[in-house]
Amino acid sequence: MIPQRRPRLALGPLTYYWPRAQVFDFYEQALAWPVDTVYLGETVCSRRHELRSADWLELAARFAAAGKEVVLSTFELIESDSDMRTMRAVAENGRFRVEANDMGAVALLAGRAPFVAGPFLNVYNAGTLALLAESGAMRWVAPVELSASGIAAVRAEAEHAIETEVFAWGRLPLAVSARCFTARYHNLHKDRCEYRCLEDPEGLLVETREGEPFLVMNGVQTQSASVQNLAPWMPDMARLGVDVLRLSPQASGMSEVVSVFAQLACGALGVDAAGERLAHVANARTCDGYWHGQPGMARVAQPQ
Amino acid sequence: MAAVDNGADDVYLGFRDETNARNFAGLNFDEASLRKGIDHAHARGANVLVALNTYPQPGTWRRWHAAVDRAAALGADAIIVADAGLMRYASREHPKLRIHLSVQGSATNAEAINFYHERFGVARAVLPRVLSLAQVEKVIGRTKVEIEVFGFGSLSIMVEGRCALSSYATGESPNTHGGCSPAKAIAWQERGTVLESRLGGVLIDRFDAGESPGYPTLCRGRFTVKGETYYPFEEPTSLNTLELLPKLQAMGVTAVKIEGRQRTSRYVETVTRVWRSAIDECATHPQRYRVHPAWHEALASVSEGRQCTLGAYHRPWK
């Protein structure tokens, strides 16, 4: 039997817009967390610039010095020339690995440097995975919709050796739009949004008219209101050979989330105990439907 | 047929399965009807574009290969593809088959479009409905690939190919199953004079007597944000760019895409006829072009919500 490798942990890109001091404070703490990889940079909105490129690069250098793999992520959606310039600067930074979240970024990286194929590239089959591997992808992040058996099937048919990363914790990034829903809520034009995203460190909660939390508006991005928690399925993920688990930053409790996943990954904590601790941190209902080929909002794991 | 007979240059068709993004019962073509459709179109000088614009799912993607082979064998003028792996297959196996990049492929910039052109010889790209006119013009200036834009139809608020809202609630989305908000996940319930619509059990909207209930698509639902109930994502409106035609023409847009599938033949006839007249008039007299009120009236009679918008083409849009 092939020994199972311990899945590594990655801190995903920060999806929210926080004041500059809060971002630095968050990453100051993260330097000490047991994560192997850190994804840095703005992926959601080009108007968010509490941190400039130089700030992100400085953070990247600090994480690299702390012995962590650093990956700079590109925008999920490219609309303007300035988006393009930013993406080009990230892709051609010359030092740090890049996560491509748009085929335009893949075009810039192809044949130049090994890169991560981000979750927005829509890799649903081995043919697309092969194209990305041939272009230089060393890892792919599965689309959030893909189930465990889907991931297994893509891996089984893959023509190339390539690492697999799974979105294991956090609010699911479900959609991206040309419209800014936060600006719309405040009745502002997108181009004059007054940076209102700063008011809601975990986005704006969208409830049904029955008061059920359903989605979260985060500028041009829409997320799930439930927190996807795949911790109970750690044994599955290890068996499948998932290489990296992505933990998506939230405003509170991330230190505990990372700690629980790290103990779970090395076997120091059981699935039940981990579930109990994470239920306290989630600050929302948890879900794991996608992993089982069900609606993403479904919860298959029993509540602890 | 309604589209071809009323002046469409190109028509989109799909096979009757999940290989295209309008995978609904009773819609689309089997092999015999597709062959007939292609003959009909070709006899009148129109092109048939076969939509294979979903993402082949793991383990079953030979079905998509077979669909590409079938489209080639039937003499399709082009295939519309979203998935990069499928383009790779098509360009290897059928090097003469013309490939169009589907809007579901989410290419919003020239770098992405040129990548598909260099790798697979993609001849035309359909832009997602997220760019302003100036941004569309820039993309056109930076690529040899023909550009097609959306002209008329429902306004998808999320970037095509980057929306999993439907699968979050129902398990099926355009990327995974070729459709959004599947009918089997919908439930209607009357409570006194109020009608409720649900999708995957989630309350999407509540209609009072006198309100006309819309199809319960997630992004067109009424929800509550900080105590305020409204359409947080989108009102039920249609995109209509008739008035932009001279600009689109001047900047070198090759084709205007008009939503026609999953529609009645009256809709297809009306919309095609209006747009044919408008495009012809704009081509002959671009300076004198103006939108005839009769065109607007005709389109409004078949549009959803009777409200029209220029969408993202118009920058102050919110």
Over residues B261-271, the mean pLDDT reads: 82
Look at residue B5 and give its three-state secondary structure: helix
Query: Which residues does chain B have within 8 Å of residue A295's beta carbon, measured at their own beta carbons?
Result: 167-171, 200
Tens of pLDDT along chain A (304 residues) come to 444 678 999 999 999 999 999 999 999 999 999 999 999 999 999 999 999 999 999 999 999 999 999 999 999 999 888 999 999 999 999 999 999 999 999 999 999 999 999 999 999 999 999 999 999 999 999 999 999 999 999 999 998 999 999 999 999 999 999 899 999 999 999 889 999 999 999 999 999 999 999 999 999 999 999 999 999 999 999 999 999 999 999 999 999 999 999 999 999 999 989 988 998 898 899 999 999 999 999 999 864 4
Over residues B226-230, the mean pLDDT reads: 94
Q: What is the ipTM of this complex?
A: 0.96
Q: List CB contacts of B7: < 8 A, sequence separation 6 or more.
A: B272, B273, B275, B276
A304 inside domain: no
More confident residue, A164 or B58: A164
Q: Å from B1 to nearest chain A CA? A: 34
Q: Does B131 contact A178 at a Cβ distance shorter than 8 Å? A: yes
A298 inside domain: no
Q: What is the pLDDT of residue B309?
A: 67
A91 inside domain: yes
More confident residue, B106 or B306: B106
Q: Does A65 touch chain B (CB under 8 A)?
A: no
List the end-to-end C-alpha distance of chain B, in Å, as a whole number: 37
Over residues B45-73, the mean pLDDT reads: 91
A297 inside domain: no
Residue of B nearest to A129 (CA): B85
To the nearest 10 degrees (0 to 180), the angle between helices B133-141 and B110-120 is: 40
Q: What is the pLDDT of residue A1?
A: 45
- Summarised one tens digit per residue, pLDDT across range B113-172 is 999 999 999 999 999 888 889 999 999 999 999 999 998 887 778 999 999 999 999 999
Q: What is the pLDDT of residue A126?
A: 94
Residues 225-284 of A with CB under 8 A from B: none
Q: What is the pLDDT of residue B239?
A: 83
Residue of A nearest to B157 (CA): A177
Residue A28 domain boundaries: 8-292
Q: How many domains does chain A have?
A: 1
Residues 72-91 of A with CB under 8 A from B: 76-81, 83-84
Supply φ then ψ for residue A110, to 5 degrees: -55, 125
Tokens of B154: 């429902």
A67 inside domain: yes
Q: How confident is the model at residue B311 (pLDDT cuts 50, 70, 90)?
A: low
Mutate to test the interface with B, among A214, A286, A292 (most CBs of B within 10 A): A214
Q: Å from B57 to nearest chain A CA? A: 6
Q: Does B130 contact A207 at a Cβ distance shorter than 8 Å? A: no
Q: Does B85 contact A108 at a Cβ distance shorter than 8 Å? A: no
Q: Does A179 contact B317 at a Cβ distance shorter than 8 Å? A: yes
Q: Does B171 contact A222 at a Cβ distance shorter than 8 Å? A: no
Angstrom distance (rounded) from CA A73 to CA B112: 17
Nearest to B1 by CA among B29, B42, B40: B40
User: Do strands A221-229 and A213-218 pair parallel, antiparallel, or not at all (unpaired)?
Assistant: antiparallel
| Most confident by average pLDDT, A287-296, B29-38, B229-238 | A287-296
- Among A103, A177, A214, the residue with its CB nearest the CB of B115 is A103
Other Cβ atoms within 10 Å of B196 Cβ, number: 18
Residues 154-183 of A with CB under 8 A from B: 154, 157, 172, 174-181, 183
More confident residue, B175 or A304: B175
A202 inside domain: yes
Q: What is the pLDDT of residue B318?
A: 46
Residue of A nearest to B83 (CA): A128
Q: How confident is the model at residue B240 (pLDDT cuts 50, 70, 90)?
A: confident
Q: Does B159 contact A178 at a Cβ distance shorter than 8 Å? A: yes
Residue of A nearest to B137 (CA): A80
Q: Does B318 contact A180 at a Cβ distance shorter than 8 Å? A: yes
Nearest to A256 by CA among A230, A233, A276: A276
Domain of residue A33, CATH code: 3.20.20.70
Following DSSP, what letter does each residue of chain A receive, concatenated? -PPPPPPEEEEPPP-S---HHHHHHHHHHHTTS--SEEEES--S-TT--SS-HHHHHHHHHHHHHTT-EEEEEPPS---SHHHHHHHHHHHT-SSSEEEE-SHHHHHHHTTTS-EEE-GGG---SHHHHHHHHHHTEEEEEPPTT--HHHHHHHHHH-SS--EEEEEEEEEEEEEEESS-HHHHHTT--GGG-TTGGGG-TT-EEEE-TTS-EEEEEETTEEEEEEEEE-GGGHHHHHHHT--EEEE---SSSHHHHHHHHHHHHTTSS-HHHHHHHHHHHHSS-EE-TGGGTS-TT---SPP-
Nearest to B87 by CA among B60, B56, B111, B58: B56
**b/e B125-136 (16+ beta carbons within 10 angstroms → b):** bbbbbbbbbebb
Q: Does B115 contact A104 at a Cβ distance shorter than 8 Å? A: yes
A300 inside domain: no
**Which residue, chain included where needed, has tokens 């209930």?**
B213
Q: What is the pLDDT of residue B24?
A: 63
Angstrom distance (rounded) from CA B139 to CA A11: 34
E strand or H helix that includes residue B223: strand B223-225
Q: List CB contacts of B71: < 8 A, sequence separation 6 or more.
A: B50, B52, B79, B97
The annotation status of A180 as a binding-site residue, yes or no, is yes
A47 inside domain: yes
Over residues B33-50, the mean pLDDT reads: 91
Q: What is the pLDDT of residue B165?
A: 97
